[in-house]
Amino acid sequence: MITKIQKWGNSQGIRFPREVLRKAHISIGDDVDISIQHGEIVVKPVLVTRRKYKLKDLLSKTPADYRPQETEWGEPIGREVW
């Protein structure tokens, strides 16, 4: 497939056909990693999760003696059913 580098404001860009993005498992808004390998531009989807924290890491910080319990939120307001 042949395409052109286009000027967008002060930058340059390439438009990728939908089928190319689909085959590369990249969607609009996804983060991509751009690198140069042997003189070629390589665009890869970023495979790390977008979240800042991992549940396993957060749970590892929970004190060993922690015991969850119910919290009293008061009387219902509106049409909630408790």
pLDDT at residue 5 tops 90: yes
Cα–Cα distances in Å, from 39 out to 14, 49, 62?
17, 29, 48
Report all structural domains of the chain as residue ranges with CATH numbers, in order of start. 6-60 (2.10.260.10)
Q: Residue 22: in which H helix or E strand, if any?
A: helix 18-23
- Best mean pLDDT range from 35-39, 61-65, 74-78: 35-39
What would the pLDDT profile of 33-46 be if each residue is shown by its tens digit?
999 999 999 999 98
> Sign of the C-alpha dihedral, residues 7, 15, 24, 27?
positive
Question: What is the C-alpha separation between 41 and 24, in angstroms, rounded?
Answer: 15
SS3 32: strand
The string of pLDDT tens digits covering residues 48-62 is 655 677 888 888 999
- Output the pTM of the full model: 0.51
